Structure 1
Amino acid sequence: MEIQSNSSIIDRTQHLVSKSISIKLLVIGFIVAILLIPQSMTLNLIQERQSRMEEAEEDVSSKWSRSQTLAGPFLGVPFYQIKQTETAGQTKTTKELRTAYFFPEDLAILGKLEAQSLHRGIFDVVVYSGDLELNAKFQPLPLGKLSLQPDQMLWDQAALYLGLSDLRGIGENPQIKIDGTTFAAEPFSDEKTLLKGLQIPLQLDSANLGFDFSGKLKVKGSREFQVAPVGKTTQMQLSGNWPSPSFQGEFLPEFRELTEESFSSHWKVLHFNRPFGQEFIGKIPVVENSAFGLSLKLPADQYQQSVRTSKYAVLIIILSFLSLFLMEVFTKKRIHPLQYTLVGFSLVLYYTLLIALSEQLGFQLAYFLASTATVGLLAGYAKSLFGNLKTTALFAGILIVFYSFIFVIVKQQEYALLIGSIGLFVALATTMFISRKIDWYKD
């Protein structure tokens, strides 16, 4: 009797779920909530794959050369600062060795970057090699602004500095000329100025007439190339063979030209635009904070686009279930909750398929293939549920509209909110119109 009673309860429950529209909706809502668990695991998978890509980028850049920031040239001249202190009525005079730093009046940089993609497993990493020409003009040093006198300066111990963030990126011996005379450069690292790069020893004249600097530098780097505006007027003309650079830093170029195979850009920065002056004692400011330049990355990051696509997974599941439910109501074909669950899992598995394909084929082709495969699978399953070709074609068409809608939102980031809001409004209005005559209280 107890077995028959339990069977009777189960039969009545199944009958109630299959006949009651309201209870069926509650069951469908519960299935959607359950599907959020594997969907969150999909997002974790995307983040894990993205971390692996970043590890590959770090591995390649650590061996090739990291992002480069050029700061210089600038001049350093040691001097003795005389201090007088009184102790027990006696005056004591001491000399303290310090360094005065001076930035150039004009700085012009002409650069050409040759970018290439290196492979690390299934990942591509963008690196570059660059040829730089630097020209700078140093005026007579304004010692008065620092309250210095010419006889304090150690002119024969001066040095010219050219800061570079990663010295491994220097491809050949730099060609440095000052007033037409060739000088040799040596590496340096200064804890006081927090700079490292190249150093050119000079023997200046106490006449303090100023000089012209010119140099050619071959550098290698990855991800970014930037320049600090140390000139009172800093100009840089940069070109390269990368079609989609991202301009970075504190200043955008005044001119840019992008083609399908290359780019060209020009910056001009005045000393009014930056938060530091031209001459300093002891320590120069962190000029890298005012650097400008560009980054060379792959045109489309499939993981970022996959993350944005996955964020709409709940919307796709709800709309798909709603479409399936309305078809069930109008066709009188009963669909079991397990069948809803299988449909939901196929919609979740779509994102895993998208990630796997995008790593090999790129996001756009992967999106097309994953969407086609998922729509084809669900259309075939809907044919077995409804047994009607017209209804199956309608369900497949609805899925195609959904995935096309999400693709447009992902690609049009600036208008994603507008397009998404209009699309959801149209979907809601369509649902209200179609379901307006349904008797929700009828079993």
Structure 2
Amino acid sequence: MTDSTFADQPPEPISAPNPWARRWRGSGFEAAKRILFLSLLILAMMIPLGMVEGVVQERAQRKLDVIAEVGEQWGPLQAVSAPVLVIPYDTMEMRPKADGTELLTRIRHYATFLPAANHIVAKTKVEKRHKSIYEVLVYGADLTINGHFEAPDFTRWNVSPDQIYWNEASLAILLPGARALRSIDLSVDGKAQKVDAGLLPQHPRGQGLRADLDLGAGKPFDYSIKLALNGRDSLSIWPLGGQSEIDLSSDWPHPNFIGSPLPASREITKDGFSGHWSINHLATGIPLAWRDGEFSLDTAGMNVVGVALTEPGDVHQQTDRIVKYGMLVVALTFGTIFLMGLLKRDRVHLVQYLLIGAAISLFYLLLLSLAEQMSFGGAYLIASLVDIAIVATYAGATIRRFIGLLTGLILAALHGYMYVLLQMESYALLSGTIGLLLILVLTMVATRKVDWYAIGEDAAARA
């Protein structure tokens, strides 16, 4: 077969380019398709970020379990109150019999009195206990409670002195964490009193200690209580009494004052803190005296004042806050690569995006694992450097060296900015909003000369 044979055959017709295809490619459809692809890819990265956030929350819950476990061994969240005076008395009342008649019967009642004034001084010394990789804050507290009871007044209830059993009076001390009590001394008018465990049915609801008293003719008396106990996390005081003066101090420099009202005065230094409360019983809504059936003192609904020992820089809380910004980091990183690809006419494959997104996601996991072993600042620095190096090197080797360098700089700026946001409290939202506005302005400036309608037209011509 010769060349002339082919020469005799007519040439194959060349199909004309489809004007509709060029119209779609040149009318912004190609740009919309790429942006939609990028958006779906960013949303898909929520899956690994959500998995990382789940790990953070799981580790945080594990820490809470360890704190509760150590608390069971060392001491619970402690709450202490001034003592409550309970005095029995009898009344003669008509009670029905089985045959329908009534019989005059002696009935036992109880009257409860609060101290006219008391002064509670508590000093705590904080210790750090370690279990596995977790650190738990515990404390030992020494408390002194001094106060005064006025002579119990039964005339308001028309109870005569011969109906009152002064020798069966008792003091009740509300102390739910009595199992962590190290020692207690109680004295009434300078005389030591024996303290017994548990409260009786006539005492206020809850757990605590009691002491039997013989008040003689019902005279006023002073009392003094010294106790030492162990606890964790917080120390609360129930302000029971006509006027309660409360002073709390500790060697821990990071207090969180709890309850209502807040301390009238406080002082916080690097060596510890102190706070003072002055509370009148009118502010608590608790009367100074009542009979059974008139009022029930229930610790579950009582206001407390006190302090909780906060731990600044908790690694799980900070890591959780950082992970919540993960979607923003992924979006800005992918957006940088996408825009630079448009400007430099580079195409980035799906696999390249996924690998870069995986490196960003692993940054948070690396941060958590390092922060549990060392300081959060050091862990953040190491994890950031590793993440920046991996992403910048890979982008520079597979896409373009300039894009790799720019992506690394963007990541470094983002990690630094996120760390600064972590240190802020009052201005975190404002700073974050300003940062987002700045990023939006920079994006507008970088794309101000991009012809979105022309994207894909050169590729169609080459085809």
The alignment's TM-score, normalised by the length of structure 1, stands at 0.90
- SS of 2:373 mapped into structure 1: helix
Equivalence for 2:407: 395
The offset of 1:235, in angstroms, is 1.0
Q: In the TM superposition, what are the counterparts of 1:24-423 in structure 2 within 5 Å?
A: 24-85=34-95, 91-172=102-183, 174-190=184-200, 193-206=204-217, 208-282=218-292, 284-287=296-299, 289-388=302-401, 391-423=403-435
* Greater mean deviation of Cα atoms: 342-351 or 185-194: 185-194
Contact 2:206 2:299 in 1 (8 A): no
SS of 1:290's partner is coil
Q: Secondary structure at the match of 2:79?
A: strand
Deviations, residues 219-242 of structure 1 (Å, cap 9, x unaligned) = 111111111000211111111111
Q: Which one is further off, 128-137 or 413-422?
A: 413-422
In the alignment, what sits opposite 1:13?
none
Percent same amino acid among aligned pairs?
A: 30
Q: In structure 1, how many angstroms separate the alpha carbons of the residues matched to 2:181 and 2:249?
A: 19
Take 1:327 and 1:51, find their aligned partners in 2: how far apart are those partners? 42
SS at match of 1:348: helix
Q: Is the 8 A contact 2:391 2:404 kept in 1?
A: no
Q: What whole-Å deviation, never above 9, does each CA across 1:331-360 have from its counterpart, x for those lacking one?
A: 233321211111111111111111111211
Q: Report the alpha carbon displacement of residue 414 of structure 1 after superposing the two structures with TM.
A: 2.6
CA 1:147–1:68: 2 relative to 1, 3 Å: farther
Specify the SS of the correspondent of 1:99: strand
Render the CA deviation track for 1:351-405: whole Å, top value 9, x for unaligned.
11111112112333222221222112212223213543x5544322221221222
Contact 1:245 1:263 in 2 (8 A): yes
| CA apart distance, 1:168 | 1.5
- Assess if the C-alpha contact under 8 Å between 1:146 and 1:279 holds in 2: no
| Corresponding residue SS for 1:361 | coil
Counterpart-to-counterpart distance in 2, 1:117 and 1:417: 33
Measured in 2, the distance between the counterparts of 1:291 and 1:195 equals: 15
The CA distance in 1 between the partners of 2:329 and 2:157, in whole Å, is 67
Contact kept in structure 1, 2:171 and 2:212, CA below 8 Å = yes
- Aligned-pair distance for 1:271? 1.2
Q: Are the counterparts in 1 of residues 89 and 163 from structure 2 also a CA contact under 8 Å?
A: yes
Change (3 A) 1:148 1:438: farther
Change in CA separation of 1:85 and 1:20 when aligned onto 2, cut-off 3 Å: same
Tell whether the 8 Å contact from 2:82 to 2:145 is kept in structure 1 after alignment: no
Structure 1 distance, partners of 2:315, 2:106, is: 62
Q: CA RMSD in A?
A: 2.1
SS of 1:23's equivalent?
helix
TM (normalized to structure 2)? 0.86
1:386–1:86 distance in 2 versus 1, CA, 3 Å: closer
What secondary structure is seen at the aligned counterpart in 2 of 1:217? Answer: strand
Q: CA deviation at 1:65?
A: 1.2
Measure, in 1, the Cα distance between the counterparts of 2:201 and 2:437: 60
Judge conservation of contact 1:27–1:337 (CA < 8 Å) in 2: no
